[in-house]
Amino acid sequence: MAMNNSGLLKGIRVLDLTRVMSGPFCTSMLADLGAEIIKIEMPGFGDEARHFGPYQEDESTYFMMLNRRKKSVTVNMKEQQGRDIVKALVPQCDVIVENFRPGVMQRLGLGEDAVRALNPTIIYASISGFGQDSPLKNWPAFDLVIQAMGGLMSLTGPKGGPATAVGESMADVCSGMFGAFGIVSALFDRERSGKGHSVDVAMLDSIMAMQLTGLSRQLYAGDTPKPVGNRHPVTYPVDSFATQDGDIVMVCFSQGAFRALCRVMEQPDLADDARFKTNDNRNANEDALRAIITNWAATQTQDALVETLQSAGIPAGPVWTLQDLTQSDHVAERGLVTEGAHQKFGKVPLVPQPVKFNGTAHVGEAFVPTLGEHTDEVLGELLDLDHAEIGALRANKVI
């Protein structure tokens, strides 16, 4: 399959030893920008994400989403010959990315010192639960653990209810984004200094760095935030409300917006009601104000109410399902769902990284690799192995 490698990261080659989500999310962002990703997978099994549902026939769609534009090369790193293959690829690459627990790469003979001896200017990026030097570094970590320990669950859910995980793997996603940010920053500096860098990204650090609203209260005022449902913790009405055919959200962040809301509800006197005159008043009398807005919203349809609020200058939107979102005009116009080539299915839907450069968010035709699809290509082109040598490695279960 021909690979289009144009883009901002054209010419950058990444040795990808990651699996599941945080690392693959990171390298998928680099792939969308034109980097060549060589994804190392275990022969016969592959990335664990290949075994996570949902499935299209027997292929994981979860894996497809996370591993677009990557060359799949099967190498058994439990075997010395397999590790030697990975080491031989190191001098050919600009970046190596791994998301094992700290210490695993060293035991494989692929720690930073060993890798840098082979390629002094390489960018060595590690994504882990707690970082390379944390007292918790040896703990296994998955997204739910990090959401719990990172405080995010303590902020999420209905008022007075139990701590609740958000509906997507946010710790994996944000650590993957910070990983890509770190790698691109290190590559930029290497252009100026000629030096390689290590990039250490912890999932816990990443989820903490995303919570500036709550942390501003905690660190400056000693006020520990609690779940408040869909409302804003300090401003009201910023909340969700039910209409006749679906929920909407509205954001009245200013006195002017609240006055506009009172006008569109045809109750302008509420803006001067002593119970609601200021934000502090509205917070103190939230239940009464919520009841008024709830009763009014229940007489409206979702689309009509959103249009009414937006026309009055009040930020508002419908609460969409993923079906609503993916079928929306916005997604179509912005090109947020694309297609990628797949050996088995022909074309599969993908969602690339969303940042647009000169009007384009990604480069060339996307593809999703089957397990080991590019093993012969990569070992032949980069390591100059011939057909017989590759066949012998395969017979010995090294690849």
Q: Which residues are catalytic?
A: 232
Pick the closest to residue 142 from 240, 52, 222 (CA basis). 52
Residue 113: left (phi > 0), alpha (psi -120 to 50), or beta? Answer: alpha
Judged by DSSP in three states, 341 sits in strand
Rounded-to-integer distance, Cα 126 and Cα 224, Å: 32
Alpha-carbon span 25 to 18, nearest angstrom: 9
SS3 of residue 101 by DSSP: coil
Q: In one letter, which amino acid is 255?
A: Q
Our CA angle for 356, 190, 93, nearest 5°, is 80
DSSP output for 134-196: -TTTTS---HHHHHHHTTHHHH-SSTTS-----SS-HHHHHHHHHHHHHHHHHHHHHHHH---
Instruction: Give the distance from CA 96 to its chain's centroid.
Output: 19
**CB count in 10 Å sphere of residue 118:** 15
What span, in angstroms and rounded, lies between the C-alpha atoms of 86 and 103? 17
199 CB burial (10 A radius; 0-12, 13-18, 19+): buried
Q: Is the dihedral of CA 373, 377, 382, 388 positive or negative?
A: positive
User: Which residue do the tokens 């209810």 mark?
Assistant: 161
DSSP state for residue 54 in the 8-state scheme: P
Longest Cα–Cα distance of the chain, Å, equals: 86
Residue 90 CB partners (closer than 8 Å, separation 6+): 15, 96, 115, 118, 119, 122
